[in-house]
Amino acid sequence: MRKASGDARLSRGTLVLLQAVLVAVLFGLWWLATTEKWLDPFFFGQPLKVVQVIVDWFVSGKIWPHLAITLWETVLAFIIGSVLGLGVGLWLALSPISSALAEPYITAANAMPRVILAPIFAVWFGLGVLSKVALGVTLVFFIVFFNVYQGVKEVSPVVLANARMLGASRGQLLRHIYLPSATSWVFSSLHTSVGMAFVGAVVGEYLGSAKGVGYLILQAEGTFDINTVFAGILVLTAFALLLDFVVTRVEARLLVWRPRAAETEAL
């Protein structure tokens, strides 16, 4: 007989409703604090004006080209960074000598704050899409690389021994054992990888660009328009949540083989 669970679980609808109420309460407190001048509206903005800016952006269509640029930079950074991380991770994981030689350089590059590369990329690639993609790639690469490297190293020696005993070639081992193991680790890190690609695109736009939501925020900051700054932050937050939702759906389809926690519960 299954043991009764000690924690109460909320339905999906109830949870969404409570989350919406929490957001409404936070906006209400923000409105009250700025209206009663507990917080200076010049520095903290005014919720109604922030919402008005967002509505104007979407009604006029001004925001769409900037969102499109940010999305394109995110997608390119994610794809290129993932492919490079997968290739280099497989190569070093399957080549002990190359791995030993590259280890100190990989460690040093991973420890370096990648944000400081943004000005260099701006000089190399200009203020267009390429410099933002390059920054995003440096963020995504190491996440995918370490997951792939670990995934290959976690392959069961028994499975490898059995495959070799059956006459599997190095190419067959790569295709049927190493690559599936590595890609499963990549799929499990989709949230982090896409998030880092998004961060790279936005940070790159903020530090220097001619388009993108980060560019809108930078322009508003330069004119001390705090309401537009908060509007850009809210739009980016909503955009990030939408990306997270898409990744969650993709991840659920790609990782259908994962056992659920409930399935391992003792009877």
What is the tens place of the pLDDT at every residue in 161-175? 777 777 777 777 777
**pLDDT value of position 55:** 92
- Please, what is the average pLDDT of the chain? 81
Return the CATH fold of 46-254.
MetI-like fold (1.10.3720)
Whole-number Å distance between alpha carbons of 131 and 203:
11
Reading the block at residue 79, the tokens are 């794809």
Q: 209: which residues sit within 8 A by CB, 6+ positions away?
A: 127, 128, 131, 132, 215, 218
262, 9 in Cβ contact below 8 A?
no
Tell me how far CA of residue 167 lies from CA of 15, 51, 164, 234, in angstroms: 54, 65, 5, 57
Q: Mean per-residue pLDDT for 71-93?
A: 89
The owner of tokens 């109420």 is: 21
- How many other C-beta atoms can be found within 10 angstroms of the C-beta atom of residue 174? 16
Q: 78: which residues sit within 8 A by CB, 6+ positions away?
A: 136, 140, 193, 194, 197
**pLDDT value of position 264:** 38
pTM of the model: 0.78
The count of C-alpha atoms lying within 13 angstroms of the C-alpha of 40, restricted to the half-sphere facing its C-beta, is 3
User: pLDDT-based confidence at 64, cuts 50/70/90?
Assistant: very high
Q: Mean per-residue pLDDT for 27-41?
A: 86
Domain ranges within the chain, ordered by starting residue: 46-254
Tell me how far CA of residue 164 lies from CA of 86, 152, 170, 180, in angstroms: 24, 16, 9, 17
Whole-number Å distance between alpha carbons of 101 and 35:
62
215, 66 in Cβ contact below 8 A?
yes
Whole-number Å distance between alpha carbons of 208 and 205:
5
**pLDDT value of position 159:** 72
| DSSP structural state of residue 176 | I
Give tens-digit pLDDT for 85-123: 888 888 888 888 888 888 888 888 888 888 888 888 888
Residue 75 clears pLDDT 60, i.e. is over it = yes
Over the range 212-230, which residues count as b (16 or more CB within 10 Å of their CB) and which as e? bbbbbbbebeeeebbbbbb
Give tens-digit pLDDT for 165-219: 777 777 777 777 777 777 777 777 777 888 888 888 888 888 877 788 888 888 8
Reading the block at residue 38, the tokens are 């507990």
For the chain, the residue count is 267
89, 182 in Cβ contact below 8 A?
yes
Closest CA to 158 of 186, 177, 183, 180: 177
Secondary structure (3-state) at 45: coil
The owner of tokens 């410099």 is: 131
